[in-house]
């Protein structure tokens, strides 16, 4: 009789778990997703993409980016605030004053949160000086 009660209880718990979705609540990964498409485009509207790269940072750094480990490490320091990438331009380098806009974008998911970031530089030199060795858009 006790075995029968135990079997019925186990069946009831399993049915309840399936009905409430508890059995499906197991995470498929221990890492929050981080997958981005990075672009460099001519113009302010980012319509003419010159270069593009994919970057996935969890659980391992990978993608078409030439140095995904360095790019993921640099992005990790931003804490999801992509404007932080613009923080330290090289003040020892001068750029011409001509206007030929270059726009960079990051679209996708960073540590589980949706990302849609865009910044326009006055020209390619200004972009290079601003990123100053930062590997995120070095592709």
The total number of structural domains in the chain stands at 2
Same domain flag for 118 and 87: yes
What are the tens digits of pLDDT across the range 80-106?
Answer: 789 999 977 888 889 999 999 999 999
How far is residue 75 from each of residues 6, 55, 61, 96, 105, measured CA to CA in Å? 52, 11, 11, 29, 14
Domain that holds residue 75: 31-131
pTM of structure: 0.75
Give me the CATH number covering residue 77.
Answer: 3.30.350.10
Cβ atoms of 137 and 39 closer than 8 Å: no
Same domain flag for 44 and 20: no
Residues 8 and 71: their CA atoms lie apart, in Å, by 54
pLDDT of amino acid 25: 42
The answer as to whether 138 is a domain residue is no
Same domain flag for 21 and 36: no
Same domain flag for 55 and 12: no
């Amino acid at each position: 009789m006790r075995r029968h009660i135990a079997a019925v209880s186990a069946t009831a718990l399993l049915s309840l778990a399936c009905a409430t979705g508890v059995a499906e609540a197991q995470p498929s990964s221990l890492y929050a997703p981080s997958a981005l498409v990075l672009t460099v485009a001519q113009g302010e509207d980012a319509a003419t993409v010159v270069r593009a790269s994919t970057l996935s940072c969890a659980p391992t750094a990978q993608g078409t980016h030439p140095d995904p480990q360095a790019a993921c490490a640099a992005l990790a320091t931003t804490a999801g605030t992509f404007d932080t990438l613009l923080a330290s331009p090289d003040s020892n380098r001068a750029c011409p004053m001509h206007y030929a806009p270059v726009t960079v974008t990051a679209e996708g998911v960073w540590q589980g949160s949706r990302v849609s970031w865009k910044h326009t530089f006055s020209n390619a030199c200004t972009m290079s000086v601003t990123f100053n060795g930062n590997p995120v858009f070095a592709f």
